[in-house]
Amino acid sequence: MIERAQSSLVVVDVQQRLLPAISRGAAALERIALLVRAAAALGVPVVATEQYPRGLGHTVAEVGLDDADAAVVEKTFFDAIRAPAVRDALMATGRPRPVVCGFEAHVCVLQTVLGSLREGWRPVVVADAVGSRRRADHEAALARLRAEGATVATAEMVVFEWLGTAEDPAFSALLPAIRALGGEEGIE
């Protein structure tokens, strides 16, 4: 199970100049925003990274980081865990289960999840909330991460596991956003 008390949410490089190049980026963005909203509602810490924001811009507003009280960290390493500020922010949460979403699946997401494994953490990569410019890169990244020992889940799986019960007060608040998710045509 992906327990919320053990989880942090890591939003990797969902930036202004990168998003338009991502295959089916709108569907991934919708799921990233759901994860951020759920994290905020359930007290899951959020750490967001921005790869060279002077060139790629900042995190797109649709992600909803302002509502999640997220730590936003600039980086130049592809493996965000190699950036001391990111590693320190995640270590400070005391939670060994980073749930990773963002762009690009085969570069920064892949290397960040591998870095999490190197730290001895138990990362989850959210398959429908990560994206790449090309479908083949997305698929190869997920296959490699599975082989390396990362857990692969979907955004809806993560949210329902964080909730644990329909009696959680956040359930009714999150249900409309879950129901509003686009269909399979938006997922690679």
Residues written for the chain: 188
Please confirm, yes or no, whether 101 is among the known catalytic residues.
Answer: no
Tell me what pLDDT residue 184 has: 56
Q: Are strands 151-153 and 124-131 parallel, antiparallel or unpaired?
A: parallel
Catalytic residue among 13, 79, 128, 137: 13
Does residue 186 carry a pLDDT above 60?
A: no
Catalytic residue among 79, 101, 108, 128: 108
Residue 174's closest CA among 26, 12, 36, 2? 36
Please confirm, yes or no, whether 69 is among the known catalytic residues.
Answer: no
Which residues, at least 6 apart from 121, have a Cβ–Cβ distance to it below 8 Å? Answer: 90, 96, 97, 98
| pTM of the entire predicted model | 0.96
Could you report the per-residue pLDDT of 88-117, keeping only the tens digit for each? 999 999 999 999 999 999 999 999 999 999
Please confirm, yes or no, whether 79 is among the known catalytic residues.
Answer: no
Sequence-distant contacts of 119-122: CB under 8 A, at least 24 apart = 119/81, 119/87, 120/96, 121/90, 121/96, 121/97, 122/6, 122/96, 122/97, 122/151
pLDDT more than 90, % of the chain: 95
Tell me what pLDDT residue 187 has: 41
Catalytic residue among 75, 79, 128, 137: 75
- Do residues 75 and 45 make contact, with C-beta atoms less than 8 angstroms apart? no
Could you report the per-residue pLDDT of 161-183, keeping only the tens digit for each? 999 999 999 999 999 999 999 86
Tell me what pLDDT residue 42 has: 98
Tell me what pLDDT residue 175 has: 95
User: Which one has a higher pLDDT value, 125 or 182?
Assistant: 125
> Which two tokens mark 2?
């992906």
- Do residues 119 and 169 make contact, with C-beta atoms less than 8 angstroms apart? no
Residue 86's closest CA among 104, 71, 99, 96? 71
Whose structure tokens read 């992906």?
Answer: 2
How far apart are the C-alpha atoms of 15 and 18, rounded to whole Å?
5
